[in-house]
Structure 1
Amino acid sequence: MAAHPDPAGRAGSTLRQLFALAVPALGVLAAEPLYLLVDTAVVGHLGAVPLAALSVGAIVLAQIATQMTFLSFGTTARAARLHGAGRRAEAVAEGIQATWLGAIAGLVLLVAGQLLAAPVAGLLTGDDQAAASAVGWLRIALFGAPMILITMAGNGWMRGVQDLRRPLRYVLAGNGISAVLCPVLVHGLGWGLNGSAIANVVAQLISAGLFVRALVAEGVPLAPVPAAMRAQLGLARDLVLLGLAFQACWVSATAVAAHTSTAAVGAHQVVFQLWMFLAFVLDALAIAAQALVGAALGARDGERARRLAWHVTGGGLIFGTLLGAVFAALAGILPRAFTGDAAVLAEMSHAWWFFVALQPIGGVVFALDGVLLGAGDAAYLRSATMSAAALGFLPAVWASLSFGWGLVGIWSGLSVFLLIRMITVLARLRSGRWVVLGAVREGTAAHPVRP
């Protein structure tokens, strides 16, 4: 396929479109981890045991969102291609069916979670007091599971049709109210750790209600369509396996830190939540790329999709480097905002400089995740991520437990994991094999065309 000319101003126009979507996406992505940072700071001043319990409970609750990423990323990929092909009503319909899937799956997870909370918490921590506190937090927080998944579906279809301003308002409404409520419940009313869980559920209920209202206003039929839901589950397999690879790493890291010491798991909770916060910040460009790349491929414009991919890669590198510099400068100040416990602060220094140094690498990796997901290339991402977990993260993390390496071993494993992922996604970008044109559904088009 012959390359089209790239007139002056086209690159600037592309970057303007990326940032026009990335800025509100940044607000959406940052809202939840920023709220979790507030939650961590509020609970951290209760002491090391509640902080350790929150670490265990939060990582378990995170499994729900991570294992159901197809409700957001999968829905965006499908809706963006349909939107690019000029089929908005069908793009919105993807959101309706994803919302039904989220509600059903959330209710199942709520019931299962009540039964499994105690054995799971006991498995993840070596401290009986921390495990008991984590169980109480989890059993309350799990009532937000259906709302978490409905919100994910809402974000998915709205990203696909390039409407990122309303999701920002919806998510900020829920998390803003809960950020005020959390310290009132935890410290003001004396509800302790359980107050944190209640504030979480309030945030999720508000946001999910606003997304449902937006779907109703679209005027598209709201009835569940089993065949459409089954079609969405086709992409779910690869994204669930992708999520499992991530969560095998995150859960292993938390478990090893918990079995190291209460101070170690508390320190890991703080640095890991900062890491997740910045990962979501870096994902803002990825979300914009996913929507624009999917729309370009749906409109059969492979040249534009490639150009977007390289621009977002450079943007991710620059953005990640800047974030690393900022948090390097804050090394002596920021940790004390989360806890005054001397033992936790001492452990935190073992992970901090890994966290800082990994930001540029994360910027490239997360940006290209968005490109490949926008192209529907989830199968490749699944295989690459599972390989990186098996060869990089997991061996280092569990060796850390055996040899007493502590947080240094855990964060060394994360470093190897990200380096392997960067190599694999850059290789895929250069190959061009991700560029498949047409309104692709379930990873295939009626007649997909490669340029």
Structure 2
Amino acid sequence: MSTDIRDDRVTVRRMLALATSAFLVLAAEPLYLLVDTAVVGHLGAHALGALAIGTTLMALLAIVGTFVEYGTTSRAARWFGSDRRDRAVGEGVQASYLAVVIGLAVVAVGQVLAGPLVHLLTGGSTELRDPAEHWFRIALCGMPMVLLVLAGNGWMRGVQLTRAPVVIVLVANGLSAAASPLLVYTFGMGLVGSAWANLGAQVVAAALFLRALRREAASVKTSLAPHVEVMRAQLVLGRDLIVRAAAFQIAFMVAAGVAARMGAAQIAAHQIGMQLWEFTALLLDSFAIAAQSLVGAALGASDARVARQLARQVARWSAGAGTAFGAAYAAGWWLIPRLFTSSPAVWHQAHVLWPWFVVMLPAAGIVFGLDGVLIGAGDIAFLRTITIVAALGGFVPLTLAAAHWSWGIGGVWAGLTAFIVVRLVGMVWRARSDRWVVLGSG
């Protein structure tokens, strides 16, 4: 790869182009979920609480396919940095095969365990259990499509395609956002209408990503046949990503279970807070996604200086973005909860968790940015370890303590804040070392 091409990939302009593309892609899904939360929220606190249980379980099961997105980005970016676009696209082909196989397995297992899983989170409350299980069983059928979309985003980020994923995701989620209120209210389907709208978006997005992959593979003469060796290598990288994602989701599941046992108002407020937190986290991740691609390409081109420069840059930008989001949410503490529900009890509980939500965001910005740097470098083992330590040493103990000593929903969100702070300390230490700087492709 020529010096001119390599230098072009690390300019501020290129970083902003990748971050903007990632921002739009990442914003589409949580924006749809925010719309869906607002639509369902006006059905009442129990419907919103049931949606919270269902979406928590969907996120839990989706962890088995985490590596088809982040692992594919890391591996494809290194091939792209060493001028092997065909091998980079090939990573996307093999990740798509894995996505389908894993997705079908998750559907089968999830349908069998749907009842017990929902019961575990609701504590047997029929007002939450029955609608949550019905929603979950419908939404679960879209898991193969969910994983295909993750794989599609992964390889496109790796080869630094910026426009196509934006168009695909916006089209699919735009259709679904329009369908949700129609199905829920106009056609009288209630809560399950949101599950069908969600499933429709996943089918459309997966089909569009597969069409784009087939075209790209043909243009660079990449085989569409399965290759066991490549899939095996992706699975090896995926082990640590899955464990890391499992630590996330176990902690979030514990938090949802504790909030559900506090009452309908608490779990409804928790759902609002978590959707806003996930929305903001994904937007902050836009810099992290750019870092994954650019850091992977720089290391693939054996340019350690550029990789370190990118790490510093993305940390600064992410910290600034997190601070800006925190200020915006602080200003909207009264108005924002009212956009999602008309229940005064839910408003009150949302105001209890709000200070924790606002205070953690600047630190979260740095954490998400460095997450992208280390994923792009393939330093997954460290990310696995620090996430487990933060989840089991901070988040879960504080959440369980909130249940035991009746600290309320604020205690649950104190646990989430601790989760961010522990990861911040570990990741800043790691980024300042040279252990993550491993040069070469493949």
Q: Give yes or no for TM over 0.5.
A: yes
Per the alignment, residue 229 of structure 2 pairs with 227
Find the aligned partners of 1:304 and 1:186 in 2 and give their Cα distance: 50
Find the aligned partners of 2:388 and 2:116 in 1 and give their Cα distance: 26
Q: Calculate the TM-score normalised by the size of structure 1.
A: 0.94
Confirm or deny that 1:92 pairs with 2:92: no
Find the aligned partners of 2:51 and 2:64 in 1 and give their Cα distance: 20
Query: For 1:51-200, what aligned pairs fall within 5 Å after superposition?
Result: 51-126=48-123, 127-200=125-198
**One-letter code of the match for 1:355?**
F
Per the alignment, residue 329 of structure 1 pairs with 331
Find the aligned partners of 1:262 and 1:308 in 2 and give their Cα distance: 45
For residue 276 of structure 1, give the secondary structure of its aligned residue in structure 2. Answer: helix
Confirm or deny that 1:317 pairs with 2:319: yes
Preserved contact between residue 15 and residue 311 of structure 1 (Cα < 8 Å): no
* 1:11, distance to aligned residue in structure 2 (A): 12
- Note the alpha carbon deviations across 1:297-325, whole angstroms, 9 max, x for none: 00000000000000000001111101111
Preserved contact between residue 76 and residue 91 of structure 2 (Cα < 8 Å): yes
Find the aligned partners of 1:410 and 1:14 in 2 and give their Cα distance: 41
- Note the alpha carbon deviations across 1:147-183, whole angstroms, 9 max, x for none: 0000000000000000021111111111000000000
Find the aligned partners of 2:186 and 2:204 in 1 and give their Cα distance: 22
Per the alignment, residue 425 of structure 1 pairs with 427
* 1:13, distance to aligned residue in structure 2 (A): 6.5
- Note the alpha carbon deviations across 1:183-239, whole angstroms, 9 max, x for none: 000011110011000000000001000000011112122111222211110001100
Structure 2, unpaired ranges of 5+: 1-6
Per the alignment, residue 204 of structure 2 pairs with 206
Which has the higher mean CA deviation after the structures are superposed, 223-232 or 410-419?
223-232
Find the aligned partners of 1:27 and 1:357 in 2 and give their Cα distance: 25
Per the alignment, residue 338 of structure 1 pairs with 340
Query: For 1:283-362, what aligned pairs fall within 5 Å after superposition?
Result: 283-362=285-364
Preserved contact between residue 40 and residue 270 of structure 1 (Cα < 8 Å): yes
Per the alignment, residue 253 of structure 2 pairs with 251
Preserved contact between residue 17 and residue 162 of structure 2 (Cα < 8 Å): no
Preserved contact between residue 124 and residue 254 of structure 1 (Cα < 8 Å): yes
Find the aligned partners of 1:11 and 1:201 in 2 and give their Cα distance: 40
* 1:433, distance to aligned residue in structure 2 (A): 1.1
Preserved contact between residue 60 and residue 250 of structure 2 (Cα < 8 Å): no
Q: Calculate the TM-score normalised by the size of structure 2.
A: 0.96
* 1:405, distance to aligned residue in structure 2 (A): 1.0
- Note the alpha carbon deviations across 1:423-444, whole angstroms, 9 max, x for none: 000000111210000004xxxx
* 1:353, distance to aligned residue in structure 2 (A): 1.3
Preserved contact between residue 260 and residue 406 of structure 1 (Cα < 8 Å): yes
Which has the higher mean CA deviation after the structures are superposed, 286-295 or 324-333?
324-333
For residue 382 of structure 1, give the secondary structure of its aligned residue in structure 2. Answer: helix
Preserved contact between residue 361 and residue 418 of structure 1 (Cα < 8 Å): yes
**One-letter code of the match for 2:80?**
H
Find the aligned partners of 1:156 and 1:65 in 2 and give their Cα distance: 15
Find the aligned partners of 2:151 and 2:10 in 1 and give their Cα distance: 29
Structure 1, unpaired ranges of 5+: 1-9, 441-451
**One-letter code of the match for 1:339?**
T
Per the alignment, residue 411 of structure 1 pairs with 413
RMSD: 1.2
For residue 142 of structure 2, give the secondary structure of its aligned residue in structure 1. Answer: helix
CA, structure 1 residues 51+427, in 2 after alignment: closer, same or farther (shift >3 Å)? same
* 1:113, distance to aligned residue in structure 2 (A): 1.4
* 1:24, distance to aligned residue in structure 2 (A): 0.9
* 1:12, distance to aligned residue in structure 2 (A): 12
Find the aligned partners of 2:82 and 2:8 in 1 and give their Cα distance: 23
**One-letter code of the match for 1:31?**
A
Find the aligned partners of 1:436 and 1:143 in 2 and give their Cα distance: 40
CA, structure 1 residues 322+435, in 2 after alignment: closer, same or farther (shift >3 Å)? same
Per the alignment, residue 28 of structure 2 pairs with 31
Find the aligned partners of 1:312 and 1:405 in 2 and give their Cα distance: 36
Per the alignment, residue 372 of structure 2 pairs with 370
Which has the higher mean CA deviation after the structures are superposed, 431-440 or 181-190?
431-440
**One-letter code of the match for 2:173?**
N
Find the aligned partners of 1:280 and 1:67 in 2 and give their Cα distance: 19
Find the aligned partners of 1:123 and 1:66 in 2 and give their Cα distance: 19
Preserved contact between residue 18 and residue 288 of structure 1 (Cα < 8 Å): yes
Find the aligned partners of 1:95 and 1:64 in 2 and give their Cα distance: 21
CA, structure 1 residues 214+401, in 2 after alignment: closer, same or farther (shift >3 Å)? same
Preserved contact between residue 91 and residue 161 of structure 1 (Cα < 8 Å): yes
Per the alignment, residue 395 of structure 1 pairs with 397
* 1:109, distance to aligned residue in structure 2 (A): 0.9
* 1:14, distance to aligned residue in structure 2 (A): 2.8
- Note the alpha carbon deviations across 1:345-375, whole angstroms, 9 max, x for none: 1111111111111110110000000000000
**One-letter code of the match for 1:140?**
I
Per the alignment, residue 3 of structure 2 pairs with none
Which has the higher mean CA deviation after the structures are superposed, 296-305 or 123-132?
123-132
Find the aligned partners of 2:375 and 2:230 in 1 and give their Cα distance: 20
**One-letter code of the match for 1:79?**
A
